[in-house]
Structure 1
């Protein structure tokens, strides 16, 4: 068995990423929407996995990943090898993707289990208002309660989660494909659509050993360098790969549904993930493996395929891109701050295409526990700014699943309690505490990494005099961008992220009757809204 040493910049044999991002110009506001019956109006199928890093696909060179659908569309479509989520946590990442804004612009919408700002429209709502039928299955935005402060339109559109199937233990029972079929049946004849497939996989928990049960060879698994190479970690990764394979297969089935419905040739297919893989040191951090996502756009009728794009893309750029392609206006009152990449899709070029994309910014406020971070990547350098008080431990998210760790106050307590840290890291590798500290321990105020020389970000260069000018440049650009885009941490306003109200589940063990009753109530409200919107859409066809 061997540990992976391949550089994150290497994607198959086709290209080398340069790790850059975008300095945004003003928002692009486009022309009026067409009448929805126009036969040439585009449809959209947006497929988003839950907790998957870019490295975990066959197209990215992972020999263990079984992603034939993604790999085929990546080879034949437009593959982006430098796409990043706005924040490495599901609610803020999805809020940014849906609204075309940086996560820190979205107040409570950027916090797990909180609410969604009703005055900020998502691209699904804007398409709906322009005559599209929009909906989702699985998870669009969340977890949280979108209507807690008066919202009347689910950020993802009309929810389709009612049909279920038998599935392996811990795999979501949502029959994604059957729900997609129902969505297509409910739209009006000739009506364009946008459907958000928010797959729950490969989010934890996993059935231990399900990867081995389904033929994954642990000897072929290349363990990323931020994890210890132990049998437990390899088995845990095999379980992770199994759920990625589940997601990939469902995309393939949805493509067949489109083909049978005669809708495939006029549908733009987008595939990505919401944040990094659910292992300690990835998800809920701001390292490269935390934020860089698989990303493919497939529409051979207009987008020249077989291209690999090295331009950095934020997932928040998806919303303005979809609106531009659909020829639908942004909100004049709440314009998007992110930048469309339709110019890249419509070009014939590959590699680095848009010279205005200079750097990319990511960050996080909290993933259950506060640990505010902002980060900027330009070229091969990655600069991270940590705002937490010195000595603050980070939330030990997703470390296998760290149920036993959440009440510990330090990594030492974890070892004392012999907690299960992804597959028994501390038991199998007791001398390798560095992995736990890298994922959970306190961090300095500044971090700087050379991603070509140090892709797993172990060697902090922030205090090295040789890199002082690089740190100063990146720090200045980060601050300038945050001020320009109204990050409350840099505009002098009140910082409220830690105080936003949470709804429903207060911790991982909240199985109280009260919480179950609340969950049932919100479920019933969501499906009542679904019935209302379906009826409203049918009425639109009669006008």
Structure 2
């Protein structure tokens, strides 16, 4: 109770002093070309932090960072799975423009001759470029790019301490959490009985326990950030390092990761300037994660290349009207979805309307306890109207949501006559974007799909063997496994 009161007090204090970003004077942006720049990147992180209003999770380090930063509520990633999202992040381009849209491409190609990862621009400007976990243990940081990329060709090390004395650095610190499998936090456990699930999930003990473990894993993100900030301070670098904190996509949950609803693409973003510029400010402007490279290069005084499709969101001249997101093959599961989001509306176009949202995917079927649970409850008629939508055997061609009235994206307005004009406007905008930017090859090479399916089948057999489950195990058997593992321990 005391912890919740402290968090609520912090959030209230931040909100009382916050102003909209439009009120921040960008003409007074400090001179930053002599600063170091650090990206702290969490894996699969939704906006489930104390500073974003969650009073169940204990995130003191991130709440402190938020109070010292500009906090962005509306960062949306170009896709909701790591490899294409990170490919977009490192190039500043939509993955579908470069043919990098499918998850975990096996037969990778090099980038076009005229396109470079942003690491090249920093190295050319004499920055030390590194990618690790933010600590001095030499561990290489996650890349997961869908193009041919060798770590040693992109990066010069794993930690800023490896640079020449006095050399500026552009560093990435990768945090694996809260990617599944989840990790408990015995110091600050989250009570599953207090968890409030989104309405598209059944209020079931297994679902609440899984969500509580997710929040505890988010707390491990906070612990990692605390260690990185401590390292910067001990190294005497806080006073001359700009810090970006963000996730590579949204939550690792059903109807979130891999899909284009806000739960899959909305992730935190904080930007901390050493001199306190913008500290305590909350911004509601739309930001895409491909905007982060452009803003980062601009802060370093490096002109970003014109081919980049991202905008410098720190500039008053580069406000977005829409953010665009995309989904294609995820592991062995072939799909194609495109979406755009404005401040008020989300428009989604489904290309495979004859396939369920829940077409089989080994990773999700074996990793998400809530998925077999929802299958069982759907078959037994125990899901309500909002929960049944995602379990249907088909899906509509178009989805339209009023995000102000319906933040959980449940009430599809695409067939409502009152929204015909808005639907046509967003449909035309997305179609024009697709014509201009969606340059991937469809359908994908059969050999690539087959390789992904073979890999998925291997993982499935290994997982089932570990769990002592037969290959034809029913959804009920999978639910029993998860209940024994999570509820009966």
TM bracket (short chain): 0.7 to 0.9
Which residue is equivalent to 2:330?
367
Given that 1:77 and 1:298 are in contact with CA atoms closer than 8 Å, whether structure 2 keeps it comes out as: yes
Which residue is equivalent to 1:474?
426
Match of 1:65 among 40, 57, 61: 57
Residues of 2 paired with 1:128 and 1:439: CA distance? Answer: 48
Given that 2:337 and 2:348 are in contact with CA atoms closer than 8 Å, whether structure 1 keeps it comes out as: yes
Residues of 2 paired with 1:129 and 1:496: CA distance? Answer: 38
Q: CA deviation at 1:106?
A: 2.4
Given that 2:101 and 2:327 are in contact with CA atoms closer than 8 Å, whether structure 1 keeps it comes out as: no
SS at match of 1:367: coil
1:372 and 1:39, CA in 2 relative to 1: closer, same or farther beyond 3 A?
closer
Given that 1:283 and 1:398 are in contact with CA atoms closer than 8 Å, whether structure 2 keeps it comes out as: no
Which residue is equivalent to 1:260?
234
Match of 1:324 among 273, 298, 309: 298
Which residue is equivalent to 1:229?
203
Q: CA deviation at 1:127?
A: 0.8
Match of 1:506 among 451, 455, 462: 455
Q: CA deviation at 1:468?
A: 0.7
Aligned residue-pair number: 421
* Cα distance per residue 1:396-423 (max 9 Å; x no partner): 6699x52189xxxxxxxxxxxxxx5358
Q: CA deviation at 1:295?
A: 0.7
Which residue is equivalent to 2:124?
129
Alignment of 1:393-404 (within 5 A): 393-395=357-359, 402-403=365-366
Which residue is equivalent to 1:30?
none
SS at match of 1:104: helix
Residues of 1 paired with 2:460 and 2:152: CA distance? Answer: 25
Q: Is residue 277 from structure 1 mapped to residue 269 from structure 2 by the alignment?
A: no
Alignment of 1:312-461 (within 5 A): 312-331=286-305, 335-344=307-316, 356-368=319-331, 369-395=333-359, 402-403=365-366, 420-422=369-371, 424-426=373-375, 430=380, 431-432=382-383, 435=387, 437-438=389-390, 441-461=393-413
Q: CA deviation at 1:221?
A: 1.9
Given that 2:44 and 2:249 are in contact with CA atoms closer than 8 Å, whether structure 1 keeps it comes out as: yes
SS at match of 2:329: strand
Q: Which stretch shifts more, 310-319 or 214-223?
A: 214-223
Match of 1:488 among 416, 428, 439: 439
Q: CA deviation at 1:94?
A: 0.8
Given that 1:272 and 1:293 are in contact with CA atoms closer than 8 Å, whether structure 2 keeps it comes out as: yes
Which residue is equivalent to 2:38?
45
Q: CA deviation at 1:75?
A: 2.1
Q: Is residue 195 from structure 1 mapped to residue 171 from structure 2 by the alignment?
A: yes
Q: Is residue 311 from structure 1 mapped to residue 285 from structure 2 by the alignment?
A: yes
SS at match of 1:506: helix
Residues of 1 paired with 2:351 and 2:242: CA distance? Answer: 40
Residues of 1 paired with 2:150 and 2:145: CA distance? Answer: 17
Match of 2:160 among 184, 202, 205: 184
Residues of 2 paired with 1:340 and 1:501: CA distance? Answer: 35
Which residue is equivalent to 2:480?
none
Given that 1:92 and 1:110 are in contact with CA atoms closer than 8 Å, whether structure 2 keeps it comes out as: yes
Q: Is residue 83 from structure 1 mapped to residue 51 from structure 2 by the alignment?
A: no
Q: CA deviation at 1:317?
A: 0.3
1:39 and 1:386, CA in 2 relative to 1: closer, same or farther beyond 3 A?
closer
Q: CA deviation at 1:185?
A: 2.7
* Cα distance per residue 1:178-210 (max 9 Å; x no partner): xxxxx2331111111111122111111235xx3
Alignment of 1:211-226 (within 5 A): 214-226=188-200
Residues of 1 paired with 2:357 and 2:195: CA distance? Answer: 30
Q: Is residue 464 from structure 1 mapped to residue 456 from structure 2 by the alignment?
A: no
TM-score (norm 2): 0.77
Q: CA deviation at 1:118?
A: 3.2
Given that 2:103 and 2:329 are in contact with CA atoms closer than 8 Å, whether structure 1 keeps it comes out as: yes
Residues of 1 paired with 2:157 and 2:182: CA distance? Answer: 25
Residues of 1 paired with 2:292 and 2:33: CA distance? Answer: 21
Residues of 1 paired with 2:153 and 2:58: CA distance? Answer: 31
SS at match of 2:202: coil
Which residue is equivalent to 2:180?
204
Residues of 1 paired with 2:65 and 2:187: CA distance? Answer: 28
Residues of 2 paired with 1:355 and 1:336: CA distance? Answer: 13
List structure 1 segments (4+ residues) > 6 angstroms apart after TM superposition: 502-505
Residues of 1 paired with 2:417 and 2:226: CA distance? Answer: 51
Q: CA deviation at 1:272?
A: 0.9
Given that 1:448 and 1:461 are in contact with CA atoms closer than 8 Å, whether structure 2 keeps it comes out as: yes
Higher helix fraction (1 or 2): 2
Q: CA deviation at 1:41?
A: 1.8
Listed as ranges, the gaps of 5+ residues in structure 2 are 1-10, 17-30, 134-140, 463-489
Q: CA deviation at 1:156?
A: 5.9
* Cα distance per residue 1:477-508 (max 9 Å; x no partner): 11222333x2127xxxx425465748898216
Please give the root-mean-square deviation of Cα atoms over the aligned residues, in Å.
3.2
* Cα distance per residue 1:281-339 (max 9 Å; x no partner): 1111111111111111011426321111111000110011111111123347xx31111
Listed as ranges, the gaps of 5+ residues in structure 1 are 1-10, 16-37, 161-182, 345-353, 406-419, 514-543
Residues of 1 paired with 2:295 and 2:157: CA distance? Answer: 23
Residues of 2 paired with 1:248 and 1:432: CA distance? Answer: 34
